[in-house]
Structure 1
């Protein structure tokens, strides 16, 4: 679903094989933007971390955030506050973008594509 330039971004070092979840990322010193494609059903047990915002582009996700369960459909967004417990059930075929306030939430498998605040472009 993502264009080639996003598929060419660095892969994340996540605890799932590439045939289960594809994850590409852009990281800066302010956060981490992740482009997820779920090839198989995935269940993430209750956990918490820094702030996270996301949107679903395709598929279906059922999320429990702070005790409230909601089924997400394409176009829906979520905003998870710092330290708020949440769990997720993700259907195969789902595609999502998540942005984490923690730039080191996940390690990258290859060279980092970083965006600095003072980068100067002529575009």
Structure 2
């Protein structure tokens, strides 16, 4: 899992997220963010909603409950969460992904 992201990604601004033991880098545009994330411990995601989100799993696994339906996503899987759809989940240690958030202020930088 070390060095999953190449230098052009790790030189992006670091995302300030409400978790511990993670790395996350933001590619910022006028109206959306793409976040490259990897986690080194299990994380519980409480139920929440926001603008639409699309992600692709690069390593490990994530369990997501989207609109009441639970699935486990692993390397190569994609998921989509529509605007305002309630979702929750669990990120497992070793997980890495690339996620598109259809909002420009989902996360700030450190």
The two structures have a TM-score, normalised by structure 1, of 0.84
> Which protein has the larger Cα radius of gyration, Structure 1 or Structure 2?
1
1:89 counterpart residue number: 90
Unpaired runs of 5+ residues, structure 1, are 110-123
Number of residue equivalences: 107
Shift of the alpha carbon at 1:35? 0.2
> How many Å separate the matches in 2 of 1:25 and 1:106?
8
Match of 2:8, SS state, is: helix
2:31 matched to 1:11?
no
TM-score (norm 2): 0.94
User: After the TM superposition, which segments of 4 or more aligned residues of structure 1 sit over 4 Å from their partners?
Assistant: none
- The structural deviation recorded for 1:27 is 0.6
Unaligned runs of 5+ in 2: none
> How big is the alpha-carbon RMSD for the aligned residues of Structure 1 and Structure 2?
0.8
1:1-123 equivalent positions in 2, closer than 5 A: 1-17=4-20, 20-109=21-110
